[in-house]
Amino acid sequence: MTLPFTVLNMLKITYIEYNGTAHEVEGREGQSIMEVATQNLVPGILGDCGGTCSCATCHTYVDSAWVARIDAATDDELGVLEGALDVRENSRLCCQIKLDSTLDGIVVHLPQRQY
């Protein structure tokens, strides 16, 4: 039997707060890691600009096991990241990371605060 619509796979994301609390949620392909966080009320991801790469309130640290699997940040993202606190080598604005099947299981760590 063929379904009359496309079934999208749910992809797992784990957000780990500064205090170590982990939040494991699921998102759909094409969503950003910021969108999934705000829809699931993950604390510490604000997403004030709605994902337009202009606020840096979606700052995360990509887990070292996943850094090589995501595309490099654009110059625009790097410019906005300059306004974030405690920026590290693995810092990313998670509104700029779109989910696809290769990112199923990704882990991101949250900074102590966004501002």
Note the residues at the interface with ligand FES (CB under 6 A).
34, 47-49, 51, 53-58, 80, 93, 95
Q: Of 11 and 56, which has the nearer Cβ to ligand FES?
A: 56
C-beta of 95 vs 107, nearer to ligand FES = 95
For ligand FES, the nearest residue by Cβ is 95
Query: Token match 């705000």: residue?
Result: 38
Q: Which residues of 2-40 are buried (b: 16+ CB within 10 A; e: fewer)?
A: eeeeeeeeebebebbbeeeeebebebeeebbbbbbbbee
What value does the CA radius of gyration of the chain take, rounded to a whole number of Å? 14
Give the nearest distance from C-beta 51 to ligand FES in angstroms: 5
Least separation, in Å, of the C-beta of 92 and ligand FES?
9
